[in-house]
Amino acid sequence: MKKFWGFVVSVSILIGISYYFSKTLAVKESIIFFPLSEEIEFTEAITTLSLIGKKSSDKHVLEWDVHSKTNEEIYLRQDLSLLFVDGKLTAKLAEWEDKSQMLAQYEKVTGEDSNLYEAVSFHYGEVHVNDDAIESVQQMSQDYLYVIDSSFSKLSSFRVPSTDEEKEWKDILDHIQSQQLQYKWDRLFDHFKIDPSMYEQIPLTDLPSYNSKPFPGFTEKQTQTIIGTLWEGLYKEFFLGLKRKDGSVEDPLGSSVPLILIAKDRSHLRVLIEGKNGYSYQLYQRITMSED
């Protein structure tokens, strides 16, 4: 499967993206998809959100933990994680290390009011088999947490509601986020003149569910290749900054949950993002299939 990444902004101008790498130099701040290793695998890949308690009368604190481990030490390890609060990117984490088997990172996050927190992580490794062969290993993980911080109820958190009150809060927070995101995504469909019925739609926060199942119309191996090249583009063109037509770079914090669109004819995928100030972004990846 060959890949092509383009970035489309406002007036739908495609900017080609090329990647250069050296066999002997690991480049910080880059994720490059290589054929997936059949020998190296992740034995741990975990993202966890935990409510710690109150910071002040109107603020609470969460701990956000990301860690992973491969079955043996490899040439390069890199983990990145994105934290969305009520459908907006609020924080991000990244860690890399040469000649490593394990990575661990955590951060304390301050919030206020009642929110839905969602964290998505991509765990990546570059495996040098010999002087001529490089492979990848990858895994996604996620966590989510509903935090209830209201003057009418005690500070609490849950993943699955166990009381009527928690169920009511879940319905409220889900409804608010769904409405806000759908409004933004509909605006992006209109802006880029995209017919949504031509695509399978997957919010980035749902992507980890495809760790072990295929996209519609693809095999599991093809799906993992698409996911690897997708994160390659997301890292450079979303995580590190959203590039505008004029060459300026917008901080992705405050932007919407990216919506992944997989063409039902299997020819390409798109990623739609609305920046914090309402600017429209589109990433484009052409898909050329090969037989497994």
For 119-154, what is each residue's pLDDT tens digit? Answer: 999 999 999 998 789 999 999 999 999 999 998 888
Cβ 207 vs Cβ 283: under 8 Å:
no
Percentage, residues of the chain above pLDDT 90: 82
Cβ 176 vs Cβ 164: under 8 Å:
no
Looking at the fold, whether 103 and 38 belong to one and the same domain comes out as yes
How much is the pLDDT for 289? 67
How much is the pLDDT for 187? 98
Looking at the fold, whether 179 and 256 belong to one and the same domain comes out as yes
Confidence (pTM):
0.90
Q: Which residue has the tokens 């009418």?
A: 152
Cβ 250 vs Cβ 278: under 8 Å:
no
- pLDDT higher than threshold 80 for residue 63: yes
Q: 264-285 pLDDT, tens per residue?
A: 999 999 999 999 999 999 999 9
Looking at the fold, whether 156 and 26 belong to one and the same domain comes out as yes
Residue 30 — very low, low, confident or very high, per pLDDT cuts 50/70/90?
confident
Cβ 138 vs Cβ 231: under 8 Å:
yes
| Enclosing domain of residue 82 | 22-160
The 8-class DSSP code of residue 248 comes to -
Q: Give the total number of structural domains in the chain.
A: 2
Looking at the fold, whether 83 and 156 belong to one and the same domain comes out as yes
Q: 195-211 pLDDT, tens per residue?
A: 999 999 999 999 999 99
Q: How far is CA 191 from the centre of its chain?
A: 23
How much is the pLDDT for 153? 82
Q: What is the residue type of 225?
A: T
* 123 in any annotated domain: yes
